[in-house]
Amino acid sequence: MLEIVPVTGIGEVTPKADLAALIMAAAAWISDGDVLVVTSKIVSKAEGRLVEVPEAGPEREAVRDAVLAAETARVVARRGPTRIVQTHHGLVMAAAGIDASNVERSRLVLLPVDPDASARSLRAALLERYGRRVGVVVTDTMGRPWRLGLTDVAIGAAGVVPVRDYRGDVDPYGNELQVTQMADIDELAGAGELVKGKYDQVPVAVIRGYGGVTDDDGPGARALVRDAEQDMFSLGTAEARALGRAEAAALADATEFAHTPVGPELVATALAEVGVAVGAAGGVGAAGAAFTHVTDAGVRDKLRDLAPSGTAEVVVAHVPADADRWTVAGAGATVHRLRAALASAGLATAWVRADAATIIDLAAVPPGHEPLGLLAIGVPR
C-alpha cells in the first residue's frame, strides 16, 4: 500500500536556506525508504536562482524575454507570445520553466542549474545529518503534447531508479514485452502533486511504501531526456517548415544512390506538387518549359548510364528550341521545386548536365525541344 503525505509548515524558503533542516523540522517522522517529492521552486529559491525584474510594463517583459533567451538551448515551437523551448538541461517545456508564481512580483524563479545534483545533495544531507535513507525526486510542472492540463514530472532524482524496464519480460498471455519502460520517477512526481499544489503552498510530499529506494544515487532524471535526434516531434510545425525550407535551399547533388527501386507514383506526385500537369505524351508542361518523366524502360536504362550509380528514376527538363532566357530560368526554378518535393518524400536527387545530342537521340524530348539536363532520382545511401 502506498501512502502520500503532505509536508506542511515549511514556510517561505530564502536563498541559502538549509532545505534538509527545514524539511526535517516540519516532518521529523520521515523514515528510511520514504521518497521525498520536492517542488523545484523551493530548491531554486534555496540555491538563489532568482532574477530581479520590474514589477510591470514593457520593461518587465523585456527582462523576461532576455532571461528566457539565456535559459534556452533551442526553440522547439512558438505561438504568439508562448515559447516551447529546450533548456540547457535538455528539458522541453514552456518558457524554460521560468516561474512568476509564489514569489515576489519583483522576481522570477529559474530552474535549478543541475536538478539531479540538487536531489543528490539533499539526499546526502538527510542521510549524513539525520540518518534517513530516502529517495528524492525534484519536480516541475509541465504540459504535454496531445493532452490538456498540466502535471508534475521529475526533473531531478537521487536514490530512485528512473525507469522500470520490462522489455524482454513475458506477460501472463505469453507475449514478450518489446517497448514497456515505465517512468517511475514521473509517476512519483505526479502522485506527490496530488497532495501538494501551488495554492496550498505545500512544496514537499512524502511517498511511503514505494519500496524502490536504492543505496546509490542512480543516473538521475537526466536519463529520461530523449535526444532530439530520436524525437519524432522535436520541432513545432512552423519550425519544422522553416527548417525544411532552409534545407531545401541548399540541396546537394547525390553522388551515389542506394540500388533500390522508386515507385513511379512518387515522382508523379512530386511533379503534381510543383504545379505542373502531365501532358498527353508523358511530358509535363509549365510556362513553355516541359518535364518528361522517362518511363520507357530501355530509354531510362540508357539515361541512367549518364547519372550517378543507383539512379532509379529520371526526369528530363527541356524547353522549346527558341525559348528565351526567362523560360529557361523558369525551368530551373521548377527543377529546384521538384527536387524539394522529392526530398520531402525521402528521395535524393542529382542534376546531370548530360550531352544534349545524346538525350535527343534517345527520343527523351519531343521534336523542337532542347534538353536542359536530367534529374536523377533515387533512394539515398
Specify whether 94 is located in the same domain as 51: yes
pLDDT computed for residue 199 by the predictor = 60
Does pLDDT of 376 surpass 60? yes
Task: Say which range, 17-26, 96-105, 174-183, 340-349, has the weakest mean pLDDT.
Answer: 174-183
Instruction: Kindly report, residue by residue over 308-367, the tens digit of the pLDDT.
Output: 999 999 999 898 888 899 889 988 998 999 999 999 999 999 999 888 888 888 877 888
Tell me the percentage of the chain whose pLDDT exceeds 90: 58
Identify the CA nearest to 205 among candidates 152, 159, 127, 163: 152
Q: Do 40 and 157 share a domain, yes or no?
A: yes
Same domain (yes/no): 62, 95: yes
Residue 183 has pLDDT above 70, yes or no: yes
| 239 within domain boundaries | no
- pLDDT over 90 at 104, yes or no: no
pLDDT at 273: 87
Structural domains of the chain, count = 2
Q: What is the pLDDT of residue 286?
A: 47
The whole-number pLDDT of residue 21 equals 97
- In 3D, which of 54, 52, 48, 88 has the Cα closest to residue 69? 88
pLDDT higher than threshold 80 for residue 177: no
Q: Which of 234, 264, 290 is the last residue of a domain?
A: 234
- pTM over 0.85? The answer is no
Same domain, 229 and 349: no
Q: What is the CATH number of the domain that holds 309?
A: 3.40.109.10
Report yes or no on 244 lying in a domain.
no
pLDDT for 289-308, tens place per residue? 788 899 889 999 999 999 99
pLDDT confidence of residue 367: 83
Q: Identify whether 281 is part of a domain.
A: yes
Rounded Cα distance between 2 and 158, Å, is 19
**9 has pLDDT over 80:** yes
One domain for residues 126 and 260? no
- pLDDT recorded at residue 230: 83
Based on the fold, state whether residues 99 and 130 are members of the same structural domain.
yes
pLDDT tens digits along 274-288: 876 554 344 555 457
Q: What is the CATH number of the domain that holds 145?
A: 3.30.1330.100
Residue 179 has a pLDDT of: 66
Residue 198 pLDDT: 65
DSSP collapsed to 3 states, the chain = CCEEEEECCCCCCCCCCCHHHHHHHHCCCCCCCCEEEEEHHHHHHHCCCEEECCCCCHHHHHHHHHHHHHHEEEEEEEECCEEEEEECCCCEEEHHHCECCCCCCCEEECCCCCHHHHHHHHHHHHHHHHCCCCEEEEEEEEEECCEEEEEEEEEEEECECCEEECCCCECCCCCECCCCEEEHHHHHHHHHHCCCECCCCECEEEEECCCCECCCCCCCHHHHCCCHHHCCCCCCHHHHHHHHHHHHCCCCCCCEEECCCCCHHHHHHHHHHCCCEECCCCEEEECCEEEEECCCHHHHHHHHCCCCECCCEEEEEEEECCCCHHHHHHHHHHHHHHHHHHHHCCCEEEEECCCHHHHHHCCCCCCCEEEEEEEEEEEEC
Q: Domain check: are 123 and 229 in the same one?
A: yes
Q: Is the domain of 101 the same as that of 190? A: yes
| Residue finishing a domain among 206, 234, 262 | 234
Quick: pLDDT tens for 131-172.
999 999 999 999 988 899 999 999 999 999 998 877 777 778
Residue 242 domain-assigned (yes or no): no
Pair 317, 187 in one domain: no
Average pLDDT estimate for 83-109: 89
265 with 218, same domain?
Answer: no
> What domain range includes position 197?
3-234
